Amino acid sequence: MIPFIDLKTQFKHLEKDIRARMDAVFEHGKYIMGPEVKELEGKLAAFVGMKHCIGCASGTDALLIALMAMDVGPGDAVFTTPFTFIATAEVISLMGATPIFVDIDPKTFNMDPDNLQLAIRALKRRDSSIYPLPVAISQELSSITPKGMISVDLFGLSCDYDRINPIARREGLFVIEDAAQGFGGEYKGKRACSLADIGCTSFFPAKPLGCYGDGGAVFVDSDELGKKFASIRVHGNGGHKYDNTRIGLNARLDTLQAAILNAKFDIFPQEINLRNQVASKYTKLLAPCPTLHAPCVPEGYKSAWAQYSVLSDRKKQIQRALKEKGIPTAVYYPKPLHLQTAFSYLGYKEGDMLVSEDCSKRIFSLPMHPYLEDNDIERICRIIDSA
Ligand SMILES: *Cc1c(COP(=O)(O)O)cnc(C)c1O
């Protein structure tokens, strides 16, 4: 039995260090905002190349903190991709703003900058013949105006920020990088979470850098925004205990989770390299397979390989053949967000985001983790080939 993600083997490698670091927390007893949180924030900020890292309770809270700090609310449009985990667009709706979906590039599964330009133009002219818009906007000529975007580094591969950032700058929009899956990846010599105005990530156990529960972080260069994030994280705190300067959240990162992450971070860069070796091996072995499309990593990118996702018209048969041999697969994502019931109020319909809709039917992911052995990869690829 090959696990889809192998957290047990990783724990075996780190067990002594993780237990020691947790024991240290039990000794000092500072379970809320203990010294481990600051230690982690310092290490991650330096790793990513942003001035400030603010640890928080989840990747969803990281996105929420970022949107709250940017004063996003009713009347604001925030552009994002329909081919992502629900949290990315959910937080936009939660703030009372309107998510505007922008279809993906079929090669990278990330937001297509050409579509982004079309969507912005369509919204400004209130003309959904230029690009599909939420029905409410095009019909009622409501006063919704572009405010920003959340781009997603899907499956570990960053977006094309050299194209996205200039579009945003020209239009006066902020860019939040959702690197929940991209953390540890690189784009033209810079690390994920430093590629836009604000970087957000998640430490959910299955992400490239995962803790043993929920956790996340927000990254930024601006001192002013860094202060704002830290304040929003703790009930809009103004600097001392019962001084509250804004409406905020209870969104702290647990000290114990920070202690675990401090241990895991020591081997994280090696693990990213191991993931890249696993991915290269898959791609090499799957190349001759005519019914399967392996993921591409464009020149200048390094993926964090949160998932190794392939496209195939024979998806069902291949998944069944693998399952019979005890090899798990997963589908990210079987239903694009513009067709989810939760977003039906936006009025999108089938056919609005053709690439996402097509990928959702043909995509599936193979086991991916740093400890996948060569002979297991070979076995998986042989089963795929004979299916
Ligand atoms: C996992 C994930 C999130 C949410 O992270 P949580 O820590 O589970 O809240 C947001 N965006 C993307 C793209 C994700 O994969």
**How far does residue 209's CA lie from ligand 1's centre (Å)?**
12
User: Which CATH class, in words, describes the domain spanning 7-265?
Assistant: alpha beta
* Model confidence at 138: pLDDT above 90: no
Task: Report the separation in Å between the CA atom of 87 and the middle of ligand 1, taken as the mean of its atom positions.
Answer: 6
In whole angstroms, give the CA distance from residue 357 to residue 266: 39
d(CA 48, CA 137): 38
Tokens of 88: 């990315």
For CATH 3.90.1150.10, the residue range(s) in the chain are: 268-386
Q: What is the CATH number of domain 268-386?
A: 3.90.1150.10
End-to-end distance of the chain based on CA atoms, in angstroms?
19
**Per-residue confidence at 92, pLDDT binned at 50, 70, 90?**
very high
pLDDT of 140: 56
Q: Where are the beta strands (DSSP E) in 172-270?
A: 174-178, 186-187, 190-191, 198-202, 216-220
How far does residue 37's CA lie from ligand 1's centre (Å)? 20
| Cβ(372)–Cβ(319) below 8 Å | no
- Is the Cα torsion angle 67, 71, 77, 79 positive or negative in sign? negative
Nearest 5°: CA angle at 60, between 56 and 62?
40
Choose one of 92, 151, 181 to mutate for the ligand 1 pocket test, by most ligand atoms within 8 angstroms of C-beta: 181
232 vs 65, 227, 252, 293, CA distance in Å?
Answer: 6, 9, 10, 43
What pLDDT was estimated at residue 1?
80
Calculate mean pLDDT across residues 49-61.
98
Are 103 and 82 spatial neighbours (Cβ–Cβ below 8 Å)?
yes
- For CATH 3.40.640.10, the residue range(s) in the chain are 7-265
- pLDDT, average across residues 304-309: 98
277 Cα to the center of ligand 1, angstroms: 25
Bridge partner residues of 215 (DSSP): none
Mean pLDDT, the chain, integer: 96
What's the pLDDT tens digit per position in 239-291?
888 899 999 999 999 999 999 999 999 999 999 999 999 999 999 999 999 88
Pocket test for ligand 1, best of 5, 58, 60, 253 (most atoms within 8 A of CB): 60
Ligand 1 atom 14 nearest Cα: 180
Question: Has this prediction a pTM greater than 0.85?
Answer: yes
Element (H, E) at 356: helix 354-362
